[in-house]
């Protein structure tokens, strides 16, 4: 295994004063030209100092030096030589910010904003680390979980997780408080409670409200809440993010979105809004042609709108697709819907999808 700052804690006291200053600047993420300007030394001297630092401390590369600078306490996140880019956020009378001013969106390409300003979250692997923390919804995520979720079976050669977290802290910090969004303890990392508004958390709150409206039989309110939940989705989920966790979350959130759409459309059919539901049902069946509950809802909506032939056509297309792709016949539910349409019965199958 390569030598990293995670496997042992090299002693920074081995370094001379100038080498410590260079290591501090490296840990703060400065380039060689920036270090040279900050320390008033030639740029080639910076490279020489860094080479000696790596040799004395037994470190593999610059990334390992950055990790070491954190682990030995030489660098405190957010307190480097760079000039702060933003002034502290306005505070309330009790000395706290007036609610989260950082928003994180996972229901599409990962994005984050501070006071409406988009933030640079770095490269995709670093973004995947932030996505893992945001998906944790305030739960502490261990470093091993991050390695497994973001890198899978191909872990990095050096312990880069603290480096990525440090950079994310800098990108997400509120004013001069570097730890206000991402916190660290002996068990791992987490988003600080109440520090960021995450759209997945808002989605779950809306779905809880949908279930409450369902139980109360408030169909109009359920449709409104479902539409609000669907409005949070912004395109391809976690687009481009690598790792097993992002892949699993893409599948889970896609299923979540389909379930919410089914719930909304089911209520619209129960409320007699057949024409309003048909266009969305056609789009949903085109995207998910093997989803039999959606096909049944479309058949019912077409039948109630006086389009019996179109409804039977949906059954035929779904039946062929099930046979060709899965080698199975239509389910009992789909066959019952077909028979209901043939007999001219207005009663349809259960029409609400689950939003578990």
> What confidence category does residue 84 fall into, taking pLDDT thresholds of 50, 70 and 90?
very low
Q: Cβ(304)–Cβ(347) under 8 Å?
A: no
Least confident range from 48-62, 189-203, 209-223, 265-279: namely: 48-62
pTM equals 0.68
pLDDT at position 73 is: 72
Please compute the mean of the pLDDT values over residues 215-243 and round it to a whole number. Answer: 95
Round to whole Å and give the CA distance between 208 and 167: 35
Alpha helices (H) in 93-243, listed in sequence order: 124-135, 143-151, 161-172, 199-216, 219-230
Q: Cβ(69)–Cβ(57) under 8 Å?
A: no
Who's near 26: CB < 8 A, 6+ residues apart? 35, 50, 53, 62, 65, 66, 69
Least confident range from 36-45, 82-91, 105-114, 294-303: namely: 82-91
Round to whole Å and give the CA distance between 338 and 334: 6
Least confident range from 87-101, 116-130, 300-314: namely: 87-101
Per-residue pLDDT of 233-287, as tens digits, reads 998 999 999 999 999 999 999 999 999 999 999 999 999 998 889 999 999 999 9
Q: What is the DSSP letter of 105?
A: E
Evaluate if residue 87 carries a pLDDT over 80: no
Per-residue pLDDT of 17-40, as tens digits, reads 888 888 888 877 778 877 877 777
Q: For a pLDDT cut of 90, what percent of the chain falls above it?
A: 54
Would you state the structure tokens that stand for residue 120, as one six-digit string?
A: 């640079």
Please compute the mean of the pLDDT values over residues 54-74 and round it to a whole number. Answer: 79
Other CB atoms within a 10 A radius of the CB of residue 235 amount to: 8
Q: For a pLDDT cut of 70, what percent of the chain falls above it?
A: 84
Per-residue pLDDT of 309-321, as tens digits, reads 999 999 999 999 9
Round to whole Å and give the CA distance between 237 and 249: 8
Per-residue pLDDT of 331-356, as tens digits, reads 999 999 999 999 887 655 444 444 54
Evaluate if residue 179 carries a pLDDT over 70: no
Q: Is 1 helix (H, G, I), strand (E, B) or coil?
A: coil
Round to whole Å and give the CA distance between 177 and 169: 9
Q: Cβ(137)–Cβ(198) under 8 Å?
A: yes
Q: Residue 108: left (phi > 0), alpha (psi -120 to 50), or beta?
A: left
Average pLDDT for the chain: 83
Least confident range from 3-12, 130-139, 276-285: namely: 3-12
Round to whole Å and give the CA distance between 90 and 109: 29
């Amino acid at each position: 295994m390569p030598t990293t700052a995670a496997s042992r804690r090299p002693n920074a006291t081995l370094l001379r004063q100038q080498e410590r200053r260079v290591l501090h600047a490296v840990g703060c993420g400065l380039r060689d030209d920036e270090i040279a300007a900050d320390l008033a030394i030639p740029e080639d001297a910076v490279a020489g100092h860094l080479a000696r630092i790596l040799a004395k401390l037994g470190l593999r590369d610059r990334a390992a030096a950055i990790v070491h600078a954190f682990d030995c306490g030489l660098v405190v996140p957010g307190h480097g030589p760079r000039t702060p880019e933003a002034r502290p956020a306005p505070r309330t009378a009790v000395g706290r910010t007036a609610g989260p001013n950082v928003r994180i969106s996972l229901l599409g390409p990962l994005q984050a904003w501070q006071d409406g300003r988009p933030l640079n979250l770095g490269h995709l692997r670093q973004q995947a680390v932030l996505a893992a923390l945001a998906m944790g919804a305030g739960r502490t995520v261990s470093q091993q979980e991050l390695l497994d979720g973001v890198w899978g079976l191909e872990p990095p050669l050096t312990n880069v997780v603290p480096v990525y977290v440090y950079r994310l802290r800098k990108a997400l910090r509120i004013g001069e408080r570097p730890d206000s969004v991402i916190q660290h303890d002996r068990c791992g990392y987490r988003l600080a409670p109440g520090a960021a508004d995450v759209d997945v958390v808002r989605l779950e709150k809306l779905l809880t409200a949908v279930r409450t409206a369902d139980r109360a039989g408030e169909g109009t309110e359920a449709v409104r809440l479902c539409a609000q939940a669907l409005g949070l989705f912004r395109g391809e989920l976690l687009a481009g993010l690598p790792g097993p966790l992002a892949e699993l979350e893409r599948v889970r959130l896609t299923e979540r979105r389909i379930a919410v759409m089914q719930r909304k459309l089911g209520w619209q059919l129960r409320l007699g809004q057949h024409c309003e539901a048909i266009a969305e049902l056609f789009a949903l069946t085109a995207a998910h042609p093997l989803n039999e509950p959606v096909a049944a809802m479309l058949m019912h909506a077409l039948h109630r709108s006086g389009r019996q032939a179109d409804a039977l056509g949906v059954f035929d297309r779904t039946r062929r697709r099930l046979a060709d792709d899965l080698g199975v016949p239509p389910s009992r539910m789909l066959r019952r819907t077909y028979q209901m349409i043939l007999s001219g019965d207005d009663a349809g199958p259960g029409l609400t999808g689950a939003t578990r």
